[in-house]
Amino acid sequence: MSNDEYDSPWKEAIETYFQECIEFFFPVAGEGIDWKRGYTFLDKELQQVVRDAELGQRFVDKLVQVWRLNGEETWVLIHLEVQSHEETNFAQRMYIYHYRLFDRYNRSIASLAILGDDRPTWKPDQYSDELWGCEIKFKFTIVKLLDYSQQWTELEASSNPFATVVMAHLKAKETRQDNQRRKQWKVDLTKQLYEKGYQREDIINLFRFIDWVMRLPEDLENSFWQEVTQYEEEKKMPYITSVERRGMKRGLLQGIEMSLELKFGSEGITILPEIAQIENLDTLSAILASIKTVNSIEELRQIYQ
């Protein structure tokens, strides 16, 4: 799986659950922030510095303005490294981000890094340079996602959304060569969302992360959905499947609209409102498949009336 396939879901998770992210990975920082005063993502400020620094490849970086409990304004630089190989100049890059932000904005900055790579021993947490008695030493805080595999029981017991994010991330990497195991873990982690007692919106958000990083071949994906649908029906909580069905219905309706217009011109579009009332996905699929072969709108209507 490429960086981008991990970057986007992580970026979305951090933006959706920033407070929970800090409290989960960096509890010392979490305890020092006055969360009641809110926080602000400073994407423009960070882009300015990253662009100036010309540091090549982009990563998941978030710069966030927070307030400390003592009343001071502080900036938090969250840097997420999800690549699978060691990077020799990583600590130097953290240092460059830090001093450029300080130079431009004259703010206190906490530099924090989440390392999602596969190398257990790679834990860069400082950059230093020395010449003729002149010395720089920059230390920053890191967490290593691989280390959490030793704390699986605690992850399962935690209600912090990032416990789920970490479990999905670890199992996605662990099952890269084993789709059968990946499917089973995807089912287990999805069921855990309900067992942990999350609200509907959190279940949908966290499922999106699981679904994004634990992609499956079509046959296993279909099998996964059968299990999840059955589970949701038993629980009487069709949260994920209802969102999935809405997305599938929207896609089918878009296909039907295009096909109707190609086949029958503007007249074809006139029956779209009545087709949109149909909830059965199999019927919508049959309509889409039949548009090519029917000779009239009335003939098409016979399929669903």
* pLDDT tens digits along 147-195: 999 999 999 999 999 999 999 999 999 999 999 999 999 999 999 999 8
Q: Domain boundaries in the chain?
A: 3-148, 175-236, 244-304
Q: Is the pLDDT of residue 4 over 80?
A: no
Q: How far is CA 229 from the centre of its chain?
A: 22
Task: From residue 55, give the alpha-carbon distance in Å to each of 82, 128, 148.
Answer: 16, 19, 29
Closest of 239, 260, 257, 261 to residue 249, by C-alpha: 257
**249 vs 107: CA distance, rounded Å:** 49
Measuring CA to CA, which residue among 81, 87, 114 is closest to residue 3? 81
d(CA 239, CA 207) in angstroms, rounded, equals: 10
Tell me the pLDDT tens digit for each residue of 214-254. Answer: 988 878 888 888 898 888 888 887 677 666 666 667 777 88
Place of tokens 């979490």: 30
Token pair, residue 26, equals 């960096």
Query: Per-residue pLDDT for 262 more than 80?
Result: yes
